[in-house]
Structure 1
Amino acid sequence: MKATIWHNPKCGTSRNTLAILEERSDVDVTVVEYLKNPPRAEKLAQLFGDAGMAASAGLRIRGTDAAERGLTKADDATVIAAMVAEPGLIERPLVETDKGVRLCRPKERVEEIL
């Protein structure tokens, strides 16, 4: 199975989720450091859609000014545009497999799509 993790190596939850993926011999992992290689708006929309969540649910609040900017109540297009402009607003880690997409907080959520 192929898996793509939208990863921030400075995040403990992201590192722990990546470790779960790498421990499995049946998973071929692609790591995308999204702060260095930010996803395009279309990709973010697809990820959130496949995860069955609003873009605002994938918004990083802690350590950002997202709430002060009103992004927690903004429409998906506005949130995604902000994320594209500032990838640090993307909550992590997002993991995508053929079985779906999950925001893996907590890290065990990755098991749902493996």
Structure 2
Amino acid sequence: MAILNKTKAAKAETAPKTEAVKAEAPKAEKAPAKKPAARKAPAKKAAAPVVTLTVQYMGKEMTQQAMVEAVKAQVEVEIKTLDLYAKPEEAAVYYVVNGDITGKVEF
């Protein structure tokens, strides 16, 4: 029975040590949750201004829209790019469509 008493005593000694170790270990405190930074709304880009161009020379005038319409009437391809060159002294608008088709429109 002495052996039984020693094992019980040994168990009794180890049990308080484990509890003591558990008590000594600091409890992990939860760090306060960081709130995600509020996302800023993307800056709105300013809308491109509406531009109207009118060329006037010696009593004649032609608007940009009229120039484009005149070119569309002469060219039968899809227009991807259009470069206009107004020469009021010749009463004409020269054009380049899609980088390769050229021509002239009278005022």
- Report TM bin, short chain: under 0.3
Give the number of the structure whose alpha-carbon radius of gyration is greater: 2
**TM-score (structure 2 length as normaliser):** 0.24
**Higher helix content, 1 or 2:** 1
Q: Which has the bigger relative contact order, CA under 8 A and spacing at least 6?
A: 1
**TM-score (structure 1 length as normaliser):** 0.23
**Higher strand content, 1 or 2:** 2
